[in-house]
A and B are shown apart, each in its own frame.
Chain A
Amino acid sequence: MGLDLNELAQNCGEWLRGTGPEPDIVVSSRVRLARNLAEFPFMAKATEVDRTEIERILRERIDLLKEEERLPRNLTFLDLGELNELDRRFLVERQLISRELAESEGARAVAVDPQEQFSVMVNEEDHLRIQVMRSGLDLQATWDAANRLDDLIEEQVTYAYSDKLGYLTACPTNVGTGARVSVMVHLPALVITRQIDKVFRSLQKISLAVRGLYGEGSQAMGDFYQISNQVTLGLSEEELTKKVADVVPVLLDYERQARDFLVRESQETLHDRVSRAFGILRTAQTITSEETLHLLSSVRLGINLGLIKDVATPTINKLFIHTQPAHLQKLAGMELDSSDRAIERASYLRKHLASGGDGVAEN
């Protein structure tokens, strides 16, 4: 059963639906586990023969789990070497694979479920990167799902593991649990009130890492940030999950205080900012990806503060993803250069944000 990427492009992943707890600030919860097969070298020393063999073994075992109906039958295994660059970039924008995996060479793949709640990357930095995503703040359920998936795969293969150091990974920064537990948060008011750096410094002091929307090295876009554990050794997975979970209520409180402050202290400026952003998005004839993210962030804030009433947060979540380059081209059904994309993007935004339009509530 195949997964049609063109069809996938039309909707958006479960994690963007805004159905989980605290959807105004916490977009999604994610757990990623790094695993390696014991009898193969890590990627740095794996030959193309090794990589092909790793991919074959994992594909075979995952297929077996599907046959036994222990993994969903509609789980799809995508050979990334066979996909074109646009499709690979589309999967990156969708957060189903990392940029590294998309851009690397040689045998590599990803197994994806149609609800986009989990993906298993093969031959990324580690042989396996198991990823589970959920909408809103739901770290416990996310960890439970990742743990189950890990147990299932582990029945089929021998992981590189040592009693002392735990799961052995290509990079010593992941050794131990191999677990990265994260939440993606939208913090526009902390950015506007310029408190964001201070928050980040506090997070770093308690060994939490802050990254942009697309992970390591990426810029924060549209005021979205990923908060995750820095340490993977010496704490159990439950402790790591708790460490991230414990800080979220404080972040929520902090962002809400900043929002209250903006409403109280600069209501007009705030309203103006939100309205202008909404106005530009609804009327522009050509618009860049960067400006779109910036303006959508203000609109998202405006919705959550009740300043905009005829659009829902999930619609904005979807637009954040759908207006990115690869998505736009998939939706348009053709390759577009950057100036054509700017026109197409503006048209897409106008259509979906039309005043009182029916297109607004869908997701």
Chain B
Amino acid sequence: MKCQRCEKPATFHITDLVDGEPKELHLCEQCAHTFLSPEEEDASEVIPAMAGLIAQAAVGETAEDLARLDERVCPFCGISFLEFRKQGRLGCPHDYAHFSRELEPLLVNIHGETHHVGKSPRHSVRDAEQQTQLIRLRREMKQAVAGENYERASEIRDEIKSIESARNA
């Protein structure tokens, strides 16, 4: 067999990764040396950091749009979109619904998809409304305790318990 890059006999049979697909290469010693030595390719394909991705997602929006967007706050956990942009972490599960329009281009950027296709919980599929209700109640209970309104706090605690026990029944 001849070398694929010159006329000499091929003595090296190399499997190369081209776009993730294995590709057979048959080379002579000299061409193999060249092939196996480092190449000067641009190293720009580094996975961009979250901040970069988010900035990218916001491209096309005006500064005012972005400023208005940044001020949006999740009613459940109190995180603003600006806070999320800065730290790259969301504040609660409800943020995915509250900021869904803003998050969608970001998810496309990261995953190339916006729909889950994997496993789902077998035992604890509850409706989203009940989940957010629990988050709200827990928050209200905390506020009641902070305001020393213990009677209200204990009422909320009972409410949480009744939802949880109905759910676990």
Residues of A that sit less than 8 Å from B by CB: 36, 38-45, 47, 49, 125, 147, 151, 154-155, 157-168, 170-173, 175-177, 179, 193-195, 197-199, 201-209, 230-237, 240, 247, 250, 253-254, 257-258, 261, 265
Contact = CB atoms under 8 A, between A and B. Distances in A.
A194 B37 contact: yes
B125 A161 contact: yes
Nearest to A210: B47
Contacts of B120: 161, 163, 166
Interface string B107-124: 100111111111111111
Contact of A172 (B16, B92, B107, B112): B107
Interface string B88-118: 1111110011000001001100111111111
Contacts of B83: 44
Contacts of A162: 93, 96-97, 116, 128
Contacts of A193: 36-37
Given A172-B107, A236-B118, A236-B119, A231 B45 contact: no
A211 B90 CA distance: 24
A75 B124 CA distance: 24
Interface in B1-48: 12, 14-20, 22, 32-33, 36-39, 41, 43, 45-47
Contact of B93 (A160, A172, A173): A160
B39 A235 contact: no
Contact of A204 (B45, B50, B117): B45
Contact of A39 (B32, B88, B131, B142): B131
A159 B124 contact: yes
A236 to B, nearest CB: 4
A172 B135 contact: no
A159 B121 contact: yes
Contacts of B79: 44-45
Interface of B: 12, 14-20, 22, 32-33, 36-39, 41, 43, 45-47, 50, 76-79, 83, 87-93, 96-97, 103, 106-107, 110-126, 128, 131, 134-135, 138, 142, 167
Nearest to B160: A39
Given A44-B90, A202-B20, A38 B36 contact: no
Contact of A201 (B33, B45, B142): B45
B114 A168 contact: no
A202 B118 contact: no
Contacts of A179: 118
Nearest to A155: B123
Contacts of B18: 202
A161 B20 contact: no
A232 B115 CA distance: 10
Contacts, number: 188
Contacts of B103: 172
21 contacts: A42-B89, A44-B91, A45-B78, A49-B142, A157-B124, A159-B121, A160-B93, A162-B93, A168-B93, A170-B90, A171-B50, A197-B38, A198-B38, A201-B45, A208-B20, A231-B110, A236-B117, A240-B118, A254-B15, A254-B17, A258-B36
Given A158-B126, A204-B45, A234 B15 contact: no
Given A201-B45, A202-B20, A247-B20, A41 B92 contact: yes
A171 B116 contact: no
Contacts of A155: 123-124
B75 to A, nearest CB: 12
Given A154-B124, A161-B125, A257 B14 contact: yes
Contacts of B15: 250, 253-254, 257
B112 A250 contact: no
A233 B38 contact: no
B43 A170 contact: no
B138 A40 contact: yes
A206 B47 CA distance: 12
B36 A45 contact: no
A154 B168 CA distance: 12
Contacts of A234: 111-117
Given A151-B123, A258-B36, 19 more contacts: A38-B124, A38-B134, A41-B92, A158-B121, A158-B124, A161-B124, A162-B116, A163-B116, A164-B114, A165-B107, A165-B114, A173-B50, A176-B113, A207-B112, A208-B20, A236-B117, A254-B15, A254-B17, A261-B12
